[in-house]
Amino acid sequence: MSDRTNVEKTVRAVAYAPEQQDLLARIESAVRVQLAPKPKRLAHSLSVADCCEGLALTYGVDPFCARVAGLLHDWDKVVPAGELVSRARDLGIDMGVDLELVEPLLHGIVAARELPDVFPELPREVWRAVEVHTTAAAAMSPLDQALFVADGIEPLRPATPGIQTVRELVGKAPLEEVFWTSFVGGITYVLEGGRYLYPGTIDTYNSLAAARRNASRGPAKSA
Ligand SMILES: [Fe+2]
Ligand SMILES: [Fe+2]
């Protein structure tokens, strides 16, 4: 059995309340319009929504928030690079480096700042997940982790050894372990490709690695 099947079988129909169904339909319609110039990006976003919802059901995360975050996470991927950088500057986004260097990371951060005005009915957790889906963060909620993982393993992504490793863990390992494997795999991908590594990612890696070390040691023994 392929690992892709392993991921797909977690996707199940969810009985959403009528108002949630209406909102999901409205958001999906808006995403279809927004991403129409990039059909592959649209297909990816719809696939991430399914995958993220499936992960949410597997790991006890709110499936509605997961589905919505998946639908919206790449909303600003159709914005030209130069415009995205200038919008980030206008919003006062400070990454500690020249924003041109981190342009591929900006679409989630900009969307998380601008989209709450478009969809004010959505909870803050959704925007946080959208914000950190490119960078990750030292503190990742289960929803943040589900979106990060879903973005990396949705079934339309061609299988690579790293992606397959993550897919194999779904449903077998805790979500934080699946996320960690996906996060480290992403860093490896950047390094092996000789791409620019955002310094903030190193800080995030060190924070997450320290937290994992502390967790594996268990609670401190009293004297
Ligand atoms: Fe993205
Ligand atoms: Fe994406």
- How far apart are the CA of 97 and the centre of ligand 2, in A? 23
> What average pLDDT does the segment 32-55 reach?
98
CATH classification at residue 51: 1.10.3210.10
> Residue 175: which domain range?
6-216
State the alpha helices, DSSP H only, in the chain: 3-8, 18-34, 39-59, 63-72, 81-90, 103-118, 124-131, 142-153, 161-169, 175-192, 199-217
- How far apart are the CA of 140 and the centre of ligand 2, in A? 17
**pLDDT above 60 for 42:** yes
Instruction: Take residue 18 and report the two structure tokens written for it.
Output: 């009528």
Q: How far apart are CA 183 and CA 20, in angstroms?
A: 31
> What average pLDDT does the segment 128-147 reach?
98
Nearby residues for ligand 2 (ion, Cβ within 5 Å): 74, 151
In sequence order, which residues have a C-beta less than 8 Å from that of residue 67 and are 6 or more positions away? Answer: 14, 24, 49, 50, 52, 53, 56
Taking the CA of 84 as reference, the closest ligand is 1
**pLDDT above 80 for 60:** yes
Task: Give domain status of residue 206, yes or no.
Answer: yes
If one counts the domains in the chain, the total is: 1
pLDDT tens figures, 158-205? 999 999 999 999 999 999 999 999 999 999 999 999 999 999 999 999
3 band by pLDDT with thresholds 50, 70 and 90: very low
Across the chain, what does the average pLDDT equal?
93
